[in-house]
Structure 1
Amino acid sequence: MRRIAIAVAATVSVVVLLFSYRTSTDQTPVATGRPLGSTQPSHTTAPPASGASSGGDGTFTGDAADTRYGPVQVRITVTGGKITEADAIEYPQESGRDVRINSAAVPELNQETLQAQSAQIDTVSGATYTSEGYQQSLQSAIDQAHR
């Protein structure tokens, strides 16, 4: 009987520990429905857009968005009111891991942008910080295109 009580107590302890285990120590808030470029300061200011400042066609560079692993900055080309080109011109490349992750993630984010025609794009699995920075900088570029 004593062994059963010890086994039950051990099982309960293990279950409590499993449910209280935190899988992430990151305290970064999850993105809300707000415009992405409006809440995060950037470490640099983008040069003025090379297009009409009143909105329309041209090439627009978003503000660089600081991420945990480095800044991310996006440039878009708008033709006929549509995003025809999207390129991440700055993104983390400091380590081999950064290069491996972002060499797959950045082309996918660029393609998502062309399909969505907005900053409401999916986060690339395994490249969450780059994806969030990309979305913020992309929103900044889109905002510039609408001025």
Structure 2
Amino acid sequence: MRPAVLATTGISALVVTLLALKPHQLPALAGVAPRSPTASASPHTPAGASTGTGTFTGDPIDTQYGAVQVAAVLSKGKITSVKVLQAPDQNGRDQQIAAYALPRLTQEAIGAQSAHIDAVSGASYTSQGYIQSLQSALDRAHA
């Protein structure tokens, strides 16, 4: 009976300790600056940017497998579509990953109306490049 009491006490102490720990927060993507609504307009800002309408091209983001670049199409501040301008395509595997991941990333971005979306499993580098390029496009749209 004594070992059972010790085991139960030990497990209870472990559970309390784990519950007391602060939950992990997701790390911020490197190179992605938060949007600033007071940012000044850049020379790349197209006409209509003040209304958030138009096509806004994001920065090309270099990844381990090649550059990723997107353009966000906005209407009255809402993302209506995302065009992929560049994606890794050096070999069949890159093309397969892009064909699988990019439509999902686009669907998530339109649903979330932001670049704060989940990466696609198996396409981490492409997802990170897509998210960073999309964020830069949205920054231009809101500049």
Provide closer, same or farther for how the CA distance between residues 75 and 126 of structure 1 changes in structure 2, counting only shifts above 3 A: same
| Candidates 63, 66, 73, aligned match of 1:70 | 66
Alignment deviations for residues 59-103 of structure 1 (CA, whole Å, 9 cap, x no partner): 000000110000000101110210001122100001000011111
Q: Percent identity?
A: 50
The answer on 1:59 being equivalent to 2:55 is: yes
Return 5+ residue gaps in structure 2 as ranges: 1-25, 34-42
Higher relative contact order (CA 8 A, sep 6+): 2
The DSSP-based 3-state class of the residue aligned with 2:32 is helix
Contact 1:49–1:59 under 8 Å retained in 2: no
Alignment deviations for residues 16-70 of structure 1 (CA, whole Å, 9 cap, x no partner): xxxxxxxxxxxxxxx73368534xxxxxxxx934433445211000000110000
Structure 2 match to 1:91:
87
Task: Please give the alpha-carbon distance, in whole angstroms, between the structure 2 residues aligned to 1:128 and 1:146.
Answer: 27
State the 4+ residue runs in structure 1 displaced beyond 6 angstroms: none
Query: Taking structure 2 as the reference length, what is the TM-score of the superposition?
Result: 0.70
Task: Please give the alpha-carbon distance, in whole angstroms, between the structure 1 residues aligned to 2:31 and 2:78.
Answer: 19
Contact 2:87–2:126 under 8 Å retained in 1: yes
Alignment deviations for residues 96-129 of structure 1 (CA, whole Å, 9 cap, x no partner): 0001111110111111110011111110011000
RMSD: 2.2
Which residues in structure 2 correspond to 1:20-35 (within 5 Å)? 32-33=27-28
Contact 1:57–1:79 under 8 Å retained in 2: yes
Task: Please give the alpha-carbon distance, in whole angstroms, between the structure 1 residues aligned to 2:113 and 2:31.
Answer: 15
Return 5+ residue gaps in structure 1 as ranges: 1-30, 39-46
Query: Taking structure 1 as the reference length, what is the TM-score of the superposition?
Result: 0.68
The DSSP-based 3-state class of the residue aligned with 1:126 is coil
Task: Please give the alpha-carbon distance, in whole angstroms, between the structure 1 residues aligned to 2:111 and 2:83.
Answer: 14
| Candidates 117, 123, 126, aligned match of 2:122 | 126
